[in-house]
């Protein structure tokens, strides 16, 4: 069983909301998880679907894994950087404020990091092709012996 990791950083949504979507696809096959995400009405679902498609393509192309055996082994969400902004409220003009007084409401624009670990079985066709290539090649490399 081979596993590899991918990460999606700075998702512009709170970790709690992103974590709810992550819980839907934990320990499922990649193909099943993509179907679930396709029917999930959450803002984080398209980002997860893109990450899973990248994982599926990397598993098949880079790691030579069987596409049907790919499963989401582990997925977790952590808090990313928080952009701190504020919104002004009604001002209080007190006796000693000289126009500098006032109130504001803090806005914390939170981000998330998603870490994904995918595992799968090696593809069986790659071994057969390599073995067949070795059997047909002769001493000259063209299939004939000299």
Q: Which residues of the chain have pLDDT under 50?
A: 146
Residue 20 lies inside a defined structural domain of this protein: yes
Residue 135 lies inside a defined structural domain of this protein: no
Domain of 70: which CATH number?
A: 3.90.470.10
Domain count within the chain: 1
The pTM is what? 0.75
Show the domain range for 41. Answer: 2-89+100-126
Residue 39 lies inside a defined structural domain of this protein: yes
> In whole angstroms, how large is the CA radius of gyration of the chain?
26
**Residues 109-134: tens digit of each pLDDT:** 999 999 999 999 999 875 555 555 55
The per-residue pLDDT for 139 is 55
């Amino acid at each position: 069983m081979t596993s590899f990791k991918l990460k999606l950083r700075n998702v512009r949504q709170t970790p709690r909301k992103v974590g709810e979507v992550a819980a839907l696809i934990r320990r499922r096959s990649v193909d099943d998880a993509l179907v679930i995400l396709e029917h999930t009405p959450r803002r984080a679902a398209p980002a997860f679907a893109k990450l899973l498609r990248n994982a599926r393509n990397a598993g098949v192309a880079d790691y030579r894994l069987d596409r049907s055996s790919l499963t989401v082994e582990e997925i977790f969400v952590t808090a990313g950087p928080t952009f701190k902004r504020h919104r002004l409220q009604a001002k209080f003009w007190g006796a000693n404020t000289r126009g500098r007084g006032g109130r504001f409401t803090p806005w914390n624009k939170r981000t998330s990091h998603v870490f994904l670990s995918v595992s799968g079985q090696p593809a069986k066709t790659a071994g057969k092709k390599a073995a067949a290539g070795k059997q047909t090649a002769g001493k000259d490399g063209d299939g004939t012996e000299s």
